[in-house]
């Protein structure tokens, strides 16, 4: 946090050029966002675990900090652009007013992280979701993969892989291979993509061929996701085309 005007706010300037978390107060105008402020820097659940779901702000701040730490400590990468870019997170954003069907979502828009409070779910501020979305920023500043069809599926998969990697780095007690398990659901599974109607084999079962979802980017990502799981943990089996394989895993660090 950061000491400011006699109180404290969710800004961390010990990492790059800063990690900052803001309150949208269920609006959609980013310029109207305000700081989360605590008088004594003791951010207790009694104060913040409330009906407004203000504790989601801590998830967003911590998720960004842990993602920064993972990339810096593992690769020497200084924020998503490798130049210390400020990571800004906005919670209590009204996704419905913005045009989404509900508030069960989060996104990176090229400038910042935005989190919905959830409609049927808790706020979408879990560690792996934060890492996934910030991973899109890393992709933008590296491969800059076009967000459609196979390149888009790679884009999505790299974010899922980084989500798993950051979670393993910062909270190994969590389920590394399931995205979104802290919400009580499985957003995507790297260990068994078929469970979520995703392919685990290139052009195999559940492979998306249409133009929906930018060419199936959230579906066909299952192939690279499962490849990474096999690279880490190893696996023997038969793929969608009857081809057998037996891979010895090399562990998360090497993978």
Rg (CA), the chain: 19
The runs of H, that is alpha helices, within 39-143 are: 45-48, 56-75, 95-98, 127-140
Tokens (6 digits) for 153: 């599926």
Largest CA distance in the chain: 66
- 132 has catalytic annotation: no
Distance CA 191, CA 17 (A): 36
- 20 has catalytic annotation: no
Q: Is 130 helix (H, G, I), strand (E, B) or coil?
A: helix
Distance CA 223, CA 69 (A): 27
Tokens (6 digits) for 104: 């069960």
Which residue among 20, 133, 156, 167 is the active-site one? 133
Within 8 A by CB and 6+ apart from 204, the residues are 223, 239, 240, 241
Tokens (6 digits) for 226: 């499962």
Contact by Cβ (8 Å): 106, 129: yes
Which residue among 92, 132, 136, 218 is the active-site one? 218
Tokens (6 digits) for 97: 């007013």
The runs of H, that is alpha helices, within the chain are: 45-48, 56-75, 95-98, 127-140, 149-170, 212-233
Tokens (6 digits) for 213: 């979802």
Report the catalytic residues: 133, 218
């Amino acid at each position: 946090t950061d000491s400011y005007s006699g109180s404290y706010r969710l800004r961390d300037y010990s990492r790059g050029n800063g990690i900052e978390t803001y309150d949208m107060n269920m609006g959609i105008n980013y310029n109207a966002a305000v700081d989360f402020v605590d008088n004594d820097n003791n951010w207790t659940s009694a104060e913040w675990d409330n009906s407004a779901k203000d504790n989601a702000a801590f998830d967003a701040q911590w998720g960004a900090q842990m993602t920064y730490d993972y990339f810096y400590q593992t690769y020497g990468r200084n924020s998503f652009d490798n130049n210390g870019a400020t990571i800004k997170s906005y919670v209590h954003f009204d996704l419905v007013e913005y045009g989404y069907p509900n508030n069960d979502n989060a996104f990176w828009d090229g400038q910042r992280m935005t989190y919905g409070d959830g409609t049927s779910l808790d706020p979408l501020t879990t560690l792996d979701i934060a890492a996934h979305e910030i991973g899109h920023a890393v992709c933008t500043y590296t491969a800059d993969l076009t967000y459609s069809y196979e390149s888009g599926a790679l884009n999505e998969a790299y974010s899922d892989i980084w989500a798993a990697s950051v979670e393993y780095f910062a909270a190994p007690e969590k389920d590394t291979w399931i995205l979104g398990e802290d919400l009580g659901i499985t957003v995507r599974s790297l260990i068994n993509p078929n469970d979520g109607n995703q392919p685990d084999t290139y052009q195999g079962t559940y492979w998306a061929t249409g133009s929906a979802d930018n060419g199936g980017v959230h579906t066909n990502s299952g192939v690279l996701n499962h490849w990474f799981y096999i690279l880490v943990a190893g696996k023997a089996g038969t793929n969608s085309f009857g081809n057998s394989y037996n891979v010895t895993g090399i562990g998360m660090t090497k993978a």
